[in-house]
Structure 1
């Protein structure tokens, strides 16, 4: 039967109990109210009665595919198991059922039903033709909420419930210039000396040095391209009135790194006693640490303290941090997402409350109230699609944009970084419309960032760039894919239509 009131839902809860009669809640944005039921359970199953509708799937980490799929369609997932080990959660992948991390929603003609976790150990959810199901990985009781109402209203209410519980670090990320999508791993202090003096006039106030400054991933000391030390780069950036930011991946280490050779006892191992491969990049697998060990915690504190307090960086991009959620045998028996949260809390304590912390590869739910912002999708690229892959977690502008739009409901809960936009026309295969979509997504996310060296940007585009970096237009969400930016309507619907499929992407 159709769902038109939570009191009619055939709700079955295993290992817990409901919080009483559903009540009404009015979202703060003035949209239509929702009905809500709170309950505690280790597992829950809800017979939804929807025959035709769309499922909202939220991926495990920043890069994990997120968005809406038809209930009758195949689930949105990373099919390649090697890539999935880096870009999603291998343990609960399901090729047949729609699966999600910490929240799932089902939208139909009768409204939207949202089932979300408020607190619990590695919360996971499934949806199929009959049932919405949810559970905690450890089997311990979790706290959940069931919301029904208009689509935007239920997401707004869930956002508010999470904000009330975990708090919001409402800090401006600034106008960021990143070295990655222009210099990649070749970045050197000499490149910064050329680029940095040109940035303030264009509206930038933050310079983030990305991957390429370190000796090797895991050994967080400057290489020969930064022979004067990282303090020299911080000083250069500060002398031009800007904040210095640094990319670092403190939760992982490549096999050839010094920390792996000298401190193998700190690394996470599996039940077989072998080192756990936490993911792949740089042409290799990499390892992660058991951060329940005091020596691994000390290593983490030393790494972060050196970057912030010795070198002077006040903005850290923490990359590949999903590695701390990998399953393994830890010295303390804790939930794996709680192990991750404890590790980022260690970083926060070491860095101090004023350091801006951006997480990439971040499990969003476990980051709430600790990180200032998270990446919301895969890496962007100066091409819309890649003919060689259909992996929704691969680095393309389309994958980055679709994920970012699908996570815009989280703005106001945690900072959202949709990755950089492009103003350059050289070395760029994006159309004007595609470039505009990226700019609009960044504006709606509240996170303006680019990676183009000023020399690659045409002089006639400088005024638009300054407005993008420094403007603060009024924004409003109109429906799932349509937004208002000042007086302009932006429709992202075409991003989610596959001409070869009858279903939305």
Structure 2
């Protein structure tokens, strides 16, 4: 059994002093003069050397990035690493970075290195000769004389993934208490984006509301996504497809007994927006003093380009965010805000207050939004992960869903790696469930069966992304069953190792949900897994209820292949 003790370490800067408490190292400045913190500030190196073949998982600064593989051969989980040609958060030739936390899998258990706070600076880990170093991106900020607190680092060990994740989450909660809705039941709803994308209209919302009866009556939330606004940045001004106003659509949702939610990208605007035309001084600037375009330093965005970023180091900007969200909450009746493109609120650039970092500016903006939102839910999307701690009730943890097998596989893996965060840091949002074709996005039945298995295994928020009137019998029955699963519990299965092939969840009834999953790389790799039960049990297919065994037994063997890519089983 591994001991839960802090690893031996070396402090790497004489400008710091540290203190240790409950596996956590806290840092503050050690001098009586100004301290400049560069964007690559090594704080501490841990003595233990890990075998370079150990499997790992580490987070990314932004939502779309996670890194797995081994110490000596890392691999991105998704399609948008922090150091790719689009995001450019650090150089492609630099050492591999693991932001926020790093989990290392050994034969006898797991070691987790993690930043337990993110108030002003982003932190990351790197390997050198099998040793771990904790590094801070100080954004070249100068600290004033006196004792200034920096971000804290912790180390946890355990025999299981669940142990180290539980310890880590508890430590984070001390620095960043979760928001109130984190303890509430996870939302069950419908989202307009993957049915209509930016072409959504008021009539589309009404059409889908008509479908929320009978077996779909338990869809509680209706999320109006991107497309309702005239311009990126002008969130209170409707597009030509909402001539009656967005407020009337929200009122129509409530009149049907549903809870209204709305999308916005609070930290960006396009040049044609009234917001930019009237307040060009509110935006982040480049070193030459011009308005900074996102594309000049990172991924430029997905439509209505170029994106310009609000400078939330300015009080007037924060007041504007508060008032905009307050109008939607108090006058329109919005009860959940999907806050997208949040990453762009944390970008580095020239702000009115040069002592405010990108991380700090983002958190100031989120505080302003929360002030306007009151008791409404806040859902983060395309967000900087750790800067969002304590700022959102729910968080997207995967890339966008797309009706193709490789994307279903990708977002399943992304969601499973972050599933430990559910109702500890925030509700996880594995993105919408899409179980039927739309023009331009068609796939086969095997892909949809895999997708519903992954959604049922991961739990979290449950939002349909299909045009509800076009659901076939398979899609309708599957989503109805997913609703029942979410009403029972939104907790995820817990995986036994970083392969993410086998996870299980003990239900309140005493039954156990077992999930066996494989992932598409160059092909669907075959997997054989033996499911375990503490008692001789009966085994049932999750979806059909068909009994699989003749006599009670303590195990059941699942063989996956390119035709049978996943399977859910109940033991009772």
Superposition TM-score tier, normalisation by shorter sequence: 0.7 to 0.9
Question: Which residue of 150, 157, 165 corresponds with 1:141?
Answer: 150
Measured after TM superposition, the shift of residue 222 of structure 1 is 0.6
Question: Which residue of 450, 455, 459 corresponds with 2:469?
Answer: 455
Distance 1:200 1:44, change over 3 A: farther
Secondary structure, aligned partner of 1:462: helix
Measured after TM superposition, the shift of residue 180 of structure 1 is 0.6
Count residues in correspondence.
468
* Corresponding position of 2:516: 491
Unmatched runs of 5 consecutive residues or more in structure 2: 29-41, 142-148, 295-299, 506-510, 526-572
Question: Which residue of 341, 345, 363 corresponds with 1:320?
Answer: 341
CA distance in 1, matches of 2:82, 2:326: 37
Q: Is the 8 A contact 2:5 2:157 kept in 1?
A: no
Question: Which residue of 153, 166, 182 corresponds with 1:156?
Answer: 166
* Corresponding position of 2:364: 342
Scaled by the length of structure 1, the TM-score of the pair is 0.85
Measured after TM superposition, the shift of residue 483 of structure 1 is 1.8
* Corresponding position of 1:435: 448
* Corresponding position of 2:436: 424
Secondary structure, aligned partner of 2:208: helix
What are the superposed Cα offsets for residues 230-281 of structure 1, whole Å, 9 maximum, x if unpaired? Answer: 1210121111110111111111011222222221100001222122223322
Moved more, 71-80 or 214-223: 71-80
Distance 1:81 1:161, change over 3 A: closer
Question: Which residue of 226, 230, 240 corresponds with 1:215?
Answer: 230
* Corresponding position of 1:399: 410
Measured after TM superposition, the shift of residue 359 of structure 1 is 0.8
Measured after TM superposition, the shift of residue 154 of structure 1 is 1.1
* Corresponding position of 1:282: 303
* Corresponding position of 1:392: none
Distance 1:490 1:191, change over 3 A: same
More helix by share: 1
Distance 1:488 1:188, change over 3 A: same
State the structure with more CA Rg: 2
Measured after TM superposition, the shift of residue 108 of structure 1 is 2.1
Distance 1:188 1:497, change over 3 A: closer
CA distance in 2, matches of 1:5, 1:446: 32
Measured after TM superposition, the shift of residue 473 of structure 1 is 4.4
Secondary structure, aligned partner of 1:329: coil
Scaled by the length of structure 2, the TM-score of the pair is 0.76
What are the superposed Cα offsets for residues 179-203 of structure 1, whole Å, 9 maximum, x if unpaired? Answer: 1111111111112222212114312
**Aligned pair 1:311/2:327, yes or no?**
no
* Corresponding position of 1:32: none
**Aligned pair 1:92/2:90, yes or no?**
yes
Distance 1:357 1:170, change over 3 A: same
What are the superposed Cα offsets for residues 64-119 of structure 1, whole Å, 9 maximum, x if unpaired? Answer: x224211121453846978633xxxx333554533122111222224322111122
**Aligned pair 1:260/2:276, yes or no?**
yes
* Corresponding position of 1:390: none
Measured after TM superposition, the shift of residue 431 of structure 1 is 4.2
* Corresponding position of 1:187: 200
* Corresponding position of 2:60: 59
What are the superposed Cα offsets for residues 190-239 of structure 1, whole Å, 9 maximum, x if unpaired? Answer: 12222212114312111101111110111221111111111210121111
Q: Is the 8 A contact 2:187 2:221 kept in 1?
A: yes
CA distance in 1, matches of 2:198, 2:4: 53
Distance 1:351 1:500, change over 3 A: closer
What are the superposed Cα offsets for residues 145-174 of structure 1, whole Å, 9 maximum, x if unpaired? Answer: 111222411122101221243222323342
Correspondence 1:40-79 to 2 at 5 A: 40=27, 43-51=43-51, 52-63=53-64, 65-76=65-76, 78=80
Give the structure, 1 or 2, with the largest relative contact order (CA under 8 Å, sep 6 or more): 1
Measured after TM superposition, the shift of residue 452 of structure 1 is 1.1
